[in-house]
Amino acid sequence: MIKKIKITSHNQTFYEKVKTISGEDIAVCDRCGVCTGSCPLTIEMEISPSNIMKMVQLGQEDVMDYNSMWVCSTCNYCTARCPRGLDVSKVTEALRQIRLRTSFDKIQIDKIPKEELKDLPQIALVGAFRRLTS
Amino acid sequence: MRIGVYVCHCGGNISDVVDVKAVAQEAKKQGDVIFAKDYSHMCSGNGQQMVIDDIKEHKLDKVLISACSPLFHGETFKAAAAKAGLNPYLIEMSNIREHCAWVHFDDKKKATEKAKDLTKIGIEKVRNNEPLETIKTPIGKRVLVIGGGIAGIQAALDLGDAGYKVHLVEKKATIGGKMAQLSRTFPTNDCAACILGSKMADVPKNKNIKLSTSSEIEKVEGTIGNFKVTIKKKPTYVHPDACVSCGDCVTPCPVSMPDEMQWGVTKRKAIYLPIDFAVPNKYLIDGDKCLNIKAQKKTGKPSNVCKLCQKACHQDAIDFSMKPEREEFTVDTIIVTTGYDVFDATRKPEYGYGRYENVMIAPEVERVIVHKGEGTPTIDMGERIAFIQCVGSRDEQLGIEYCSRVCCMYATKLSQLLKSMANVNNEKKELYVFYTDMRTFGKGYEEYYKATQKMGVKFVRGRPAEVIEDPETKKLTIKVEDTLNNRIIESEFDKVVLSVGMQLSEGGNEIAEILKIPKSEDGFLQEAHPKFRPVDTGKDGIFIAGTAQGPKDIPDSVAQASATASRAMRLMNQGEITEEPLKAFIETDLCDGCGLCVDSCPPGAITMRDNKAVVNPVLCKGCGMCIASCHVDAIDLNMYTNKQMLAQVEAALKDKKENERIVLVFANDMCGYKLADSVGTAKKAYNDAVRIIKVPSTSRVTTKLMLQAFSMGADGILLADCESKSSDFAGSLEMATENVNKIKSILTEIKENPERVMIFQFATVMLPKFVMLMNKMAKIGNDNKPISKANREILEKNISKWLFEK
């Protein structure tokens, strides 16, 4: 079934929030798709980076229900190529921030199996905690 | 003095808000005002006739019309005055429509008070008007057209047919420009060479057109009616009169190189004909590649190297000793049609042009199609072809924001042609166009797009991220998001064609510098007004057409070219050009010969003669920058004299009440005043404290005048000028800014808010910004209270001291 959405002033608030936190003028995204084509991690994503931008434009909060914003590694491939000069990774970062500010942790250390934890490089753990926990 | 005042209702536009009768009554109280009438439509035939009759009957020597903008109806009333035998410069207008009724519609009382004030300001200005004469200079019928592409050809033919003498100058060896390199033209699929060839051939046939190919503009001096042009003709080493275009010289030539007219798709020799249907249809030698010429250049002496072509030529047309020639001539107007260069696709390394052999740019495909049509051997386009759109357009990573307008259509055309050629030959061909947005805006274009879709060309919405070459097979993989299907496509193609955008040509950039005509933000040449003067430039007598002005297709280029021809004829056909007497003049008795004004004048119109300054009216542009440089007030500007300026300021401030705030806005007529009019037309309200006074440029507003205004009680002063790129007057903005900074430091010194004075550069589209600034300036008065009486006295006393010091 195709999802039906409503666009209300509430959507505008969400859009403004992402815009303020990211500092990016998301409204100028044309969805040309260069970000998606450039992204090395789309294979892991449920929705594409350009799809994130368009959903934020209309203030659709369910953009945060998909895993894409967590998958984004901020490699900035998209930013280097965006013809409208947008920094898409700043937008995914803003979305993560909004989610994390609700006392949300994307990863929990006690849920990671001990064996796995042993093998993980420390830098990966530090990076993950900084980016993925509140 | 006998002044007549008219207050216009403008059919309710004014009278619905402003009590026009009260305004007329107030006007009547002013000195020398014989009568003040109100009337429904001053600009109507009856209104004008009333003015004419009154001037005669009441022997009026000054007239004020309180109505709409002088930029709108100024000329109407000047003409009426002239009809009545009154010097047209003795009539003035107060703008109580755009600057009052239309922006203060929410408060009738305040609007009426302001209208009274504006009328009084007008009366004081016209009281100080002097009779002036328009300046007339003769103009001939000679035109220079720079660039022989389709736009230049069209303009030259139009003018030549109309009997004007045209000199068409083209840098390349043939006219025809980029259109001569196209295969077919959308949306009719006419063969470009066929429809252009006959037009090109018309040029040398026209007795009024002189054609100089292989020639470049070296220098242009002077102004409209008297442009002195120097061109340099490169040697072709073939005498055009002797050459019969047999082509026997070509075969023996040992040099082979990519043919630039064929976009490098095929090769040519060092002696060559640029293109089959070249005009002039004469062979020439490429001086950079010919072995003999190269040897000559190396040794500096005549050489005997090669000369195989000379031996082959039975007309004895080849002359290796040919030298560059210079030619000087004078023209009255100039048309610039320098065209475009295609975007350099190597600037998008992710698409691999120049690195991967199977990545092409669209112009190369044009030539491939021509060769296919002619049956000559050419590049094999393979089975699967992808077009990538917006390469060098709409891309802020490259600093190119604009859409090049033609790429959607030419990609559609090329894919359609490739597809239909394959269909005819029963070949299999798959064509994909990856686009950001399809823009098929022109007449018949959407239908053309649909026809192409029908033929089986696939249009995919998504901008490819990168092209990757398989080093073995040389096939190309494109990675792109199909944004309409939320899928990622990674697919292999035999050829990738980049739809490259347009940029102002290198030659166009050089010409812009030589002619000193402005460029707009996108890098193309700028028109005087985007809607109403689309082919004029900021410089009188210079016109622009075709892709030099901005990306456009052939129909638009041709239409613009004809428009330039007509605009140029409009000026030249009159035999003389009139100019406003907006010129500086010297009160010789006052001039003490200090010479400061000489350096203050950017166009160098002021010289010293017998220890007195003299203004050359031909060079003077009327910016008024010289006025501030004179410490004895000996230099002045017609139409905006010191007396007139001061009288207006006095009138604006003399009846200022205790709780009233007055902000003086000195707006230049090109941008500031025009913008204020647009704000009025758009009916955007702002604070009624604002009094707008027209000036030619804000540098006309001297520091002295600003200090006087503050000492008389002005709460704020705003100078509204153009952005520097559209300013008519070099150095004017810098000077005005300097003046404003001086006043700011004086205000700081007496502990007043320095924000009371500011300068702003307006583009004529900045309506909200204008409203915001007007309200801000009016508030500065309110929040900070008026300048204290003590401070006003200090200001008044120290004006001359400060002027001397700062």
User: Mean pLDDT across chain B, nearest whole number?
Assistant: 93
> Is the torsion defined by CA of A106, A111, A113, A114 positive or negative?
positive
Q: What is the pTM of this model?
A: 0.78
Residue A129 has pLDDT above 70, yes or no: yes
User: Mean pLDDT across chain A, nearest whole number?
Assistant: 93
Would you state the pLDDT for residue B806?
47
Name the residue with tokens 């705003």.
B718
What percentage of chain B reaches a pLDDT higher than 90? 80
Confidence of residue B731 (pLDDT cuts 50, 70, 90): confident
Average pLDDT over residues A28-49: 96
- Looking at the complex, report in whole angstroms how far the Cα of residue A134 sits from the nearest Cα belonging to chain B: 31
**Calpha distance B627→B638 (Å, rounded):** 11
Residue B478 has pLDDT above 90, yes or no: yes
Q: Each residue of A111-122: pLDDT tens digit?
A: 888 888 888 888
Residue B726 has pLDDT above 80, yes or no: no
Neighbours of B792 (CB within 10 A): 18
Name the residue with tokens 């220098």.
B219
Q: Helix or strand or coil: residue B209?
A: strand
Confidence of residue B805 (pLDDT cuts 50, 70, 90): low
ipTM of the complex: 0.92
Q: Helix or strand or coil: residue B637?
A: strand
Residue B268 has pLDDT above 90, yes or no: yes
Residue of B436, B465, B483 lying closest to A38 (CB–CB): B465
From residue B41, alpha-carbon distances to A131, B5, B116, B227, B639 in Å are 71, 14, 19, 44, 26
- Looking at the complex, report in whole angstroms how far the Cα of residue A11 sits from the nearest Cα belonging to chain B: 22
Q: Do residues B203 and B138 touch, judged by C-beta distance below 8 A? A: no
Instruction: Answer left, alpha or beta for residue B382, where phi above 0 means left and psi between -120 and 50 means alpha.
Output: left
Would you state the pLDDT for residue B782?
62
Contact residues on chain B for A51, CB-CB shorter than 8 A = 486
Which residues are CB-neighbours of B96 under 8 A, at least 6 positions away? Answer: B7, B8, B14, B18, B23, B66, B67, B114, B115, B118, B119
Check residues B206 and B622 and name the one with the higher pLDDT: B206
Would you state the pLDDT for residue A111?
86
- Residues forming beta bridges with residue B138, ordered by sequence position: B576
For chain A, the 3-state helix, strand and coil shares in percent, each to the nearest 5, are: 60, 0, 40
Would you state the pLDDT for residue B116?
95
Residue A125, judged by CB atoms within 10 A of its CB (0-12, 13-18, 19+), counts as middle
Residue of A31, A37, A50 lying closest to B479 (CB–CB): A37
Residue of A51, A81, A85 lying closest to B486 (CB–CB): A51
Contact residues on chain B for A35, CB-CB shorter than 8 A = 465
Contact residues on chain A for B466, CB-CB shorter than 8 A = 37-38
From residue B586, alpha-carbon distances to B600, B610, B624, B705 in Å are 14, 13, 12, 19
Name the residue with tokens 């894409």.
A68
Element of type H or E holding B565: helix B554-572
Confidence of residue A131 (pLDDT cuts 50, 70, 90): confident
Closest-CA residue in chain B for A46?
A: B486
Q: In the numeric block, which tokens belong to residue B567?
A: 């605009």
- Looking at the complex, report in whole angstroms how far the Cα of residue A43 sits from the nearest Cα belonging to chain B: 9
Q: Each residue of B218-243: pLDDT tens digit?
A: 999 888 898 999 999 999 999 999 99
Closest-CA residue in chain B for A38?
A: B465
b (16+ CB within 10 A) / e for A20-47: ebbebebeebbbbbbbbbbbeebeebeb
Alpha-carbon dihedral angle through residues B81, B86, B88, B90, given to the nearest 10 degrees: -110
Which of B257-271, B586-600, B718-732 is predicted with the least confidence, judged by mean pLDDT? B718-732
Q: In the numeric block, which tokens belong to residue B167?
A: 């000199």
Is the CB of A36 less than 8 angstroms away from the CB of B395? no
Q: Each residue of B534-545: pLDDT tens digit?
A: 999 878 899 999
What percentage of chain B reaches a pLDDT higher than 70? 99
The DSSP annotation for B35-79 comes to: EEEEES-TTSHHHHHHHHHHHHHTT-SEEEEEES-HHHHHHHHHH
Is the CB of A48 less than 8 angstroms away from the CB of B488? yes
Average pLDDT over residues B337-348: 97
Which of B72-86, B177-191, B784-798 is predicted with the least confidence, judged by mean pLDDT? B784-798
- Residues forming beta bridges with residue B621, ordered by sequence position: none
Q: Each residue of B614-670: pLDDT tens digit?
A: 998 878 888 899 998 888 889 999 999 999 999 999 999 998 888 888 999 999 988
Contact residues on chain B for A57, CB-CB shorter than 8 A = none
Is the CB of B462 less than 8 angstroms away from the CB of A37? yes
Q: Is A50 on the interface with B (CB under 8 A)?
A: yes
Would you state the pLDDT for residue B287?
93
Q: Each residue of B132-146: pLDDT tens digit?
A: 999 888 999 999 999
Q: Is A28 on the interface with B (CB under 8 A)?
A: no
Contact residues on chain A for B350, CB-CB shorter than 8 A = 81
